[in-house]
Amino acid sequence: MKRGLLSIGLVMLTFAASTVFAQNRAGTSAAPELLIPVGAKYQATAGSANAFVTGVNAIYWNPAGLDMQKSVGGALFSYRQYIAGIGISYLVVGGRFGGFGSLAVSFRSFNLGTIDVTTENQPDGNGQQISPTYFIGGITYSKRLTDRISVGATVNYINEGFGDVSGTALGIDVGVQYENLIGIQGLGLGVSVKNIGSEMKYDGSGLWVQADVPSADIGLSYYKLEAASFQLPSVIEVGLGYKRTLDENNSLSIMGNFQNNNYGIDEYRAGAEYNFMNTVAIRGGYLFSQTVGAFSSSAGNVSLFEGWSFGAGVDLSKMTGLGMSFDYAYVPARYFGANNMFDISVTF
């Protein structure tokens, strides 16, 4: 009972904290890559499965789902073909350690290709190129408090670098999941708060600029540009879902999720998954975004990925005896080509 009340208190605190997120400050945060979803399985439902994510697939969406896994452990490799030729690779390995709970480590890297170096005097390029590096490494702990309630947290190390400058930050994700909410079999609730942490500030030798000081005694000199600090793009997500078991081999899940963005447009997500013979899963979802005032949808400012997404997955466990599955998601993008996402996961 005490654990249940503690978890309920966490949810109430999360709703109270949402008042901090009321002001939209789009374009003023650090590390926007933290908001790019990874993992095809749940992105196929437009990211609406906050209440149902489990195992290593849960790390990005809601870390509380890690200890909800039925297996002892698992690993996931995912690749996302993002916009403008950017590729995102994602790797997670995790497992359960008895009554202690579950632990996992995760890694995200972004391949942005090469960019021509330009200067004030050479705006068309000076013949040099740089390769920006974006990397996120995380450690997740999750604990199932009761047969229906699980909590979890992830600490992420974020590193960005290009040329001779770089910036780092630490961010924390926390979450809670409820199964069979208010005694209704199959009804789930998921709440998560993500990207709460330190500010990011760039530094490095690339911020030193040569200047011609108008003095015969000084001549050429150098001065350092002082970069500003920016907070991480914190979000609050609340999800509900209902899973109906049709028979011992088939099930249907319906999910919804609200994401309140401190530095962007709020998003509403809905999705569904039909699992046939516990082997083939068909998924679909829809994302709708809207805020008020100058950032309203009527002003044309909506999410880049607003609209339908869909995908499918195949679990090879029953056919081969191996705990391996493949998942795919297709996510259309405004003004750009659609994103394709691929997952390979194993359980043990």
Tens digit of pLDDT for each residue in 263-313?
A: 888 899 999 999 999 999 999 999 998 754 444 444 446 788 999 999 999
**pLDDT band for position 213 (50/70/90)?**
low
Here the CATH number for the domain that contains residue 176 is: 2.40.160.60
DSSP conformational letter for 158: E
Based on its alpha-carbon atoms, the radius of gyration of the chain, rounded to whole angstroms, reads: 22
Residue in 106, 104, 159 with CA at minimum distance from that of residue 135? 159
Amino acid identity for residue 288 in this structure: F
74 and 278 Cβ atoms separated by less than 8 Å: no
> Rounded to 10 degrees, what is the CA torsion of 315, 319, 320, 324?
0
Which range marks the domain in which residue 248 is found?
2-347
302 vs 342: CA distance, rounded Å: 26
- Compute the average pLDDT of residues 103-131: 89
- The reported pLDDT for the residue numbered 301 is 60
In the chain, the number of structural domains is 1
71 vs 77: CA distance, rounded Å: 17
The rounded Cα 312 to chain-centroid distance in angstroms is 20
Question: pLDDT digit string (tens) for 139-155?
Answer: 999 999 999 999 999 99
272 and 309 Cβ atoms separated by less than 8 Å: no
Question: pLDDT digit string (tens) for 182-191?
Answer: 999 999 999 9
Two structure tokens written together for 285 = 């979802």
- Pairing between β-strand 129-130 and β-strand 115-116 as defined by DSSP bridges: antiparallel
Reported pTM: 0.88
How far separated are the first and last CA of the chain, in Å rounded? Answer: 32
